[in-house]
Structure 1
């Protein structure tokens, strides 16, 4: 007898691409943060300095906590938090000179504070502390320095818009068209197509922002600014991904639903701040 026909096997359904996070929560938190930032920027400038200080202190707490949990590194948080806050305020009040002085004093405080504990691991801990001081508060100080200009609120807003647009362009284009990995050993989700999307989105946004938001700004300057932002934001994202891979974690924290921790939102902003500050000074002056 002929073999009985085998029942048809159900075909596997193609899996849809997902963002890997709670998109609704991410959007809600993002809108909430945007409201706080815009309100503080355009109501009282000094209030936005307070927002920067809070972000810096929380970011330092997340970074030092993860270092201790995963590597046993005890970067001293107290002098870092106090020095980091002072660094941001000094940058806003006294500019780059104040920021450098505060950075030097913070470094000294880290060295002295760690002396109160046994010498084992001293060099490791203070090295991590100095890295944290530079990576978080010192780079954030450039945002406060942008704010010093007469049109400082608009400069900071342009900085934030371009960084967010760059990240959005990378995500949207990479999610839809991404095929070629950019740096698979560091961040497997990033693609070269996504980087091109970041560059294109940021350059268009930069041309519009410089032409219509910054006095004496020109569209061609915005193209260069957007290109620089896309590169620095991508490098910042990859830099934090390298840190998280070394620590063996996915996120630096859980404070922001759908985003991770504060440091997971600052990763592209921190290295982009000095780039935008410098280019705006070159293009339109310090204000």
Structure 2
């Protein structure tokens, strides 16, 4: 007796789980990162003043990105010229005269912003100069602590290298652990991609790297000091990243710029470095002195 063929199954086939994606061009990001690393290391160990120039260039570009986004998204007119000149002076003063020179240059830069803005209409004067003073503190003043680390006679370049390594390792640990194991959001309203598991990864990676750096790179350093240094770097780098995420969310943008393929802009790379610089500078002074 003939049988009726089974009806075709119209139920949808199960979809394969989507692979996690970093959301950026990983190949471009790695290439740019390697290139920047090579420039930094060469300038850092060949001739100190060249690296001071690298810091100054990064500061000026970062200020240009920040002031451009403020103007585009919020119509905040921050005078770039006094910020760029004053920011460069801050970095040089910090390298030559230390913290005292940096504070004097910061005060003069703030004054220059107030005076420069007087040449335009008084509308929104207070808003614009407030943003200008914030920009002066956020970018060049915090970057000045890198120049002050470099100024140490005994091991200045190694202090800067330690600062850079720990910040990069912290970011890498947060990304790697968060991408693989992240489930619990750290600050979903600020940065939905960050997780508590990623923070644990940042702390673990940075503490191990800190112990190694303090033991082998910093003169008179000890491994236990590196553990504390790594913990502090993980905290400051994470807060710095969240801080810039707040700024970008307020501005309604994903990146501060497009200068670095796979990374965004200069400010998107400085977000965790800037607030970490004074933390590392202070702890190294407490642990091993000014050098």
Same fold, judged at TM 0.5 (above): yes
- Residue 55 (structure 2) pairs with residue 59 (structure 1): no
**Displacement over 3 Å in runs of 4+:** none
CA–CA separation in structure 2 for the residues paired with 1:73 and 1:7: 58
Match of 1:89 among 72, 89, 92: 92
Using the alignment, how far apart are the partners of 2:248 and 2:12 within structure 1? 42
Matched, 1:217 2:244: no
Gaps of 5+ in 2: none
Cα distance in 2 for residues equivalent to 1:128 and 1:7? 60
Q: Between 6-15 and 155-164, report the one with greater CA deviation.
A: 6-15
Q: In the alignment, which of 74, 78, 98 is matched to residue 75 of structure 1?
A: 78
1:19 pairs with 2:22? yes
Structure 1 gaps, min length 5: none
| Distance (whole Å) between structure 1 residues aligned to residue 194 and residue 26 of structure 2 | 18
1:125 partnered with 2:119: no
Distance in 2 separating the partners of 1:187 and 1:141:
27
Question: What secondary structure sits across from 1:189 in the alignment?
Answer: strand
Structure possessing the higher radius of gyration over alpha carbons:
2
Match of 1:173 among 155, 173, 177: 177
RMSD between superposed Cα atoms in Å: 1.1
CA distance in 1, matches of 2:179, 2:241: 16
In structure 1, how many angstroms separate the alpha carbons of the residues matched to 2:188 and 2:12? 35
Deviation track 1:219-258 (CA, whole Å, cap 9, x = no partner) reads 0000000000000000000000000000000000000000
- Partner residue of 2:284 out of 277, 280, 284: 280
Q: Which residue of 2 aligns with 1:201?
A: 205
Structure 2 residue aligned with 1:30:
33
Q: Which residue in 2 is equivalent to 1:106?
A: 109
1:47 paired residue number: 50
TM-superposed CA distance for 1:11, in Å, is 2.1
Alignment-derived partner of residue 137 in structure 2:
134
Equivalent pairs, count:
287
TM-score (norm 2): 0.97
Q: Are 1:260 and 2:261 an aligned pair?
A: no
CA displacement, residues 78-134 of structure 1 (integer Å, 9 cap, x when unaligned): 000000000000000000010000000000000000000000000000000000000
